[in-house]
Amino acid sequence: MFFVKVLEHRIHLHPSFFGAQASDYILDQLYRDREGSNTGTMMIVAIIDVDDISEPKIVPGSGYAEYDVSYRAIVWRPFRGEVVDGLVSSVVNNGFFVDVGGLSVFVSKAMIPPQLKYTVEGATPSFTDGVDQTVERGSQVRLRIKGIRGEMGQMFAIGSIREDYLGPLLQ
């Protein structure tokens, strides 16, 4: 789900950057650092605006200036039980991986309806029921997130398509 959230970020500036442009540097750095990053629970999609750049403080002993920047950002946070759409990034024999934005979701074989069977045609593995549903690399899939695990900088989840209205989307 998407949210607008007020966040803070702390940036250190080398004394050699001190000057009129310092705040530009800070802003640049903020966008570079945070946009598209992943905190382990959510992903910062875009920074809407910067509320405030604090007065810099000189860090004793190093001479660096420390800025606290508070900004508003659109974040995406997946929830357990949420139904999301994603793109299949790879298919292996015990399930498949789906990219949902920056979140990699694994759908285990146990969470795939039994009529979808693992088949390998040529070099493209897929889960298919042989009629109209096929999950292969690149297919769009709707799934329910069953569990999420976050590490600093990345998130993983497992999902299920073993429910009504879930599974490959017909293109």
Partner 1 sequence: MASILDQDFPDEEEDDFNPAPEVGSDDEADEKPAANDDDDEDEPPARSERSRSRPQRDADDDAKDELGTEGLIGFGRDEDAEGEGRNLDDEDDEEDEEDEEDEQDDDLEGQPSRKRRKQHRRNQFIDVEAEVDEEDEEEPEEDDDLPGEEMHPDDLQELPPGADRDDRKHRELDRQREAQFQMDVEEEAARLKERYGRQSRATGTGSAIVPQRLLLPTTEDPRIFRMKCRPGKEKEVIISIQGRVNERLGSREPVRIYSAFERAKPGSPMSGMIYVEASRVEDVIAACEGITHVFMGTKPLMVPLEEMPDLLKVTKEKQLEPGMYVRIRRGLYSGDLAAVHEVEANGTEVILRIVPRLDYGLNEDVNGPMEAANGQKRKRPLVQRPPARLFSETEAKKRHGKYLSKQGGLSGSNWTYQNKEYIDGFLLEPFRLNALQTEDVNPTLEEVTKFATSSTDDGAENLDLAALAATLKTSTANEFLPGDKVEVFRGEQKGVTGHSVQVYGDVVKVKVDPGNGALSGGHIEAPIRDLRKLFREGDHVKVIGGSKYTDEVGMVVRTKDDRVTLLTDSNQSEITVFSKDLREATDSGGAAADSKFDLFDLVQLDAATVGCVIKVDRESLRILDQNSSVRTMLPSNISNKIEKRRNAVATDRDGNEMKSDDTIKEYSGEQKSGRVLHLHRNFVFAQTRERAENAGVWVSRHANVQVVAAKGGKAASGGVDLTKMNPALKQNGASPSPMPPPQAKGRDRLIGKSVKIRTGPNKGMIGLVKDASPDEAKVELHAKNKTLTMKKDMLTLIDPNTGNAIPDGIRSLAMGRPPPAGAGRTPAYAAGGGGRTPAYAMPSGGRTPAYAAGGGGRTPAWKQDAGARTPAYGGGTTYGGGGLGGQTAYGGATSYSGATSYGGGSVWGGGGGGGGPGGQSTWNPNMGGRTPAPSGSKTPAYGGMEAPTPGFNSAPTPGSYQDQPTPGGFRDQPTPGGFRGGNYQTPGSYQTPGGFPETPGPYSAETPGGDDGPRYD
> Contact positions toward partner 1, by CB under 8 A?
11-14, 16-17, 25-26, 28-29, 32-33, 64, 80, 89-90, 92-94, 97, 104, 106, 108-111, 145-149, 151, 156-158, 160
Residue 45 or 156 having the CB closest to partner 1: 156
Residue 29 or 119 having the CB closest to partner 1: 29
Residue 99 or 129 having the CB closest to partner 1: 99
Residue 117 or 149 having the CB closest to partner 1: 149
Cβ-Cβ contacts under 8 Å for 34 (sequence gap 6 or more): 7, 9, 44, 47, 71, 73
Q: Do the beta carbons of residue 76 and residue 42 sit within 8 Å?
A: yes
Please state the closest distance from residue 2 (CB atom) to partner 1, in A.
22
Q: The tokens of 138 are what?
A: 């690149």
* Distance in angstroms (rounded) separating the CA atoms of residues 124 and 159: 22
Residue 39 or 104 having the CB closest to partner 1: 104
Cβ-Cβ contacts under 8 Å for 88 (sequence gap 6 or more): 96, 97, 98, 99, 135, 136, 137, 138, 139, 140, 141
Separate counts of helices (H) and strands (E) for the chain:
1, 13
Q: Which of 17, 70, 29, 25 is nearest to 48 (CA)?
A: 70
* Distance in angstroms (rounded) separating the CA atoms of residues 66 and 122: 57
